[in-house]
């Protein structure tokens, strides 16, 4: 899984421009040789279907990453930008970014007045261009930049950009690799544009109309110095979501996840995320409503150039999902 995650993490794929990461995921799925039916819908979601019985389960993880969109180029070749997804200007300052064509830049700032707060409109991207015309050749207005790719393994800890949410895409691929026999249909959906409003998940759920849905995404932790109080730590198991700002977990789905974890001796945590949300926020409101749950991967420094997860949480998430898929009361109790 580490090699798979390294490949996915370092692939370019900002919200709304997911072509490259979708292509890489297609390669990964094809290499698994599981005879899945692959489809890309009109919005760009990648859907891998395992045919089965009458009931239908949707398993979703978003493939897009946050980005910066060029809005203006000044006469000296410096690029102004607007955020695509959530960005903290304090994290952006000094970060290296890369565009689709491989052009690399760094983020600088204007001089601030005394006690002036650093805001995004004080930042710019420097690609080393000497003029507006030179900058426009590689990074015209509308170009998107993401954090420069890197990936490292340090013991159980994995560090890289876009682990939100390539780590969860890796989990889905590993579940497919180890897929147990089931008597219902499973749609594995790698969604687009989650970072800008849970958009791909909405259209995917509408077209698939599942009886049950599970989302895999990342969540914050409370285990760093002076971190916001939160009962989630790295290495203590996947977190079963209770609530976030866009979603309250279906109580029976949450209970089934907990029951499965206890039955199989899989460590887990309970998550209440006070800021942010996941694709579940769109999925559970589709049609007449879809019973939905979320498995979250504890992650430090989300939306930064160097997010950190624990490999044991990754593996335990796979184990929890594979075991959950075989639960005898999966649909009858909803």
Do 183 and 141 lie in one domain? The reply is: no
Do 91 and 231 lie in one domain? The reply is: no
At 115 the pLDDT is: 86
Q: Per the domain annotation, does 154 fall within a domain?
A: no
Last residue of a domain, one of 89, 122, 147: 147
Do 29 and 92 lie in one domain? The reply is: no
At 331 the pLDDT is: 87
Domain hosting 94: range is 67-147
Q: Residue 158: left if φ>0, alpha if ψ -120 to 50, beta else—which one?
A: beta
Do 58 and 85 lie in one domain? The reply is: no
At 143 the pLDDT is: 98
Q: Which residues are catalytic?
A: 194
For the cut 80, the answer to whether the pLDDT of residue 209 exceeds it is: yes
CA distance 98 to 278: 26
What are the two backbone dihedrals, phi and then psi, of residue 40, each rounded to the nearest 5 degrees? -110, 120
Do 29 and 132 lie in one domain? The reply is: no
Q: Could you tell me the pLDDT band of residue 258, with boundaries at 50, 70 and 90?
A: very high
Do 181 and 141 lie in one domain? The reply is: no
Angle at alpha carbon of residue 283, lines to 203 and 326, rounded to 5°: 115
Q: Per the domain annotation, does 211 fall within a domain?
A: yes
Q: What is the CATH number of the domain that holds 170?
A: 3.40.630.10
Do 197 and 269 lie in one domain? The reply is: yes
For the stretch 109-158, pLDDT in tens is: 999 988 889 999 999 999 999 999 999 999 999 999 999 999 999 999 99
Q: Per the domain annotation, does 205 fall within a domain?
A: yes
CA distance 202 to 198: 7
Q: Count other Cβ atoms within 10 Å, centred on residue 289.
A: 10
For the stretch 50-85, pLDDT in tens is: 999 999 999 999 999 999 999 999 999 999 999 999
Q: What is the CATH number of the domain that holds 103?
A: 2.40.30.40
Contact 204, 97 (CB under 8 A): no
Mean pLDDT over residues 268-282, rounded?
Answer: 95
Burial string for 264-273 (b: 16+ CB within 10 Å, else e) reads: eebebbbbeb
For the stretch 218-249, pLDDT in tens is: 999 999 999 889 999 999 999 999 999 999 99
Report how far apart, in Å, the C-alpha atoms of 120 and of each of 12, 68, 83, 304 are.
Answer: 22, 11, 8, 15
Q: Per the domain annotation, does 330 fall within a domain?
A: no
Q: Which of 309, 265, 327, 326 is nearest to 170 (CA)?
A: 309
What pTM value is reported for the model?
Answer: 0.96
Q: Per the domain annotation, does 152 fall within a domain?
A: no
Q: Per the domain annotation, does 316 fall within a domain?
A: yes
Do 71 and 181 lie in one domain? The reply is: no
> What is the domain count for the chain?
2
């Amino acid at each position: 899984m580490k090699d798979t995650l390294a490949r996915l993490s370092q692939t370019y794929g900002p919200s709304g421009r997911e072509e490259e990461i979708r292509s890489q995921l297609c390669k990964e799925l094809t290499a698994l040789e599981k005879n899945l039916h692959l489809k890309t819908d009109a919005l760009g979601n990648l859907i891998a279907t395992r045919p089965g019985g009458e009931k239908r389960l949707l398993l979703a993880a978003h493939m897009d990453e946050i980005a910066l969109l060029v809005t203006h180029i000044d006469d000296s070749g410096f690029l102004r930008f607007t955020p695509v997804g959530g960005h903290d200007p304090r994290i952006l300052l000094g970060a290296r970014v890369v565009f689709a064509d491989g052009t690399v830049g760094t983020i600088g700032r204007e001089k601030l007045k005394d006690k002036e707060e650093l805001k995004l409109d004080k930042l710019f991207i420097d690609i080393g261009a000497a003029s507006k015309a030179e900058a426009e050749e590689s990074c015209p207005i509308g170009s998107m930049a993401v954090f420069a790719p890197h990936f490292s393994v340090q013991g159980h800890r994995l560090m890289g950009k876009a682990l939100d949410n390539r780590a969860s895409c890796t989990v889905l691929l590993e579940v497919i690799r180890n897929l147990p026999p089931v008597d219902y249909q499973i749609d594995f959906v790698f969604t687009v544009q989650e970072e800008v409003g849970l958009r791909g998940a909405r259209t995917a759920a509408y077209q698939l109309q599942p009886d049950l849905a599970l989302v895999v995404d990342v969540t914050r932790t409370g285990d760093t110095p002076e971190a916001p109080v939160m009962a989630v730590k790295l290495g203590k198991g996947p977190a079963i979501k209770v609530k976030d700002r866009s979603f309250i977990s279906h109580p029976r789905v949450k209970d089934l996840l907990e029951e499965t974890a206890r039955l199989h001796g899989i460590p887990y945590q309970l998550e209440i995320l006070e800021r942010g949300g996941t694709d579940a926020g769109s999925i559970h409101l589709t049609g007449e409503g879809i019973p939905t749950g979320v498995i979250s991967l504890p992650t430090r420094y989300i939306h930064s150039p160097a997010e950190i997860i624990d490999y044991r949480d990754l593996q335990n998430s796979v184990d929890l999902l594979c075991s959950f898929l075989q639960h005898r009361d999966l649909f009858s109790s909803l």
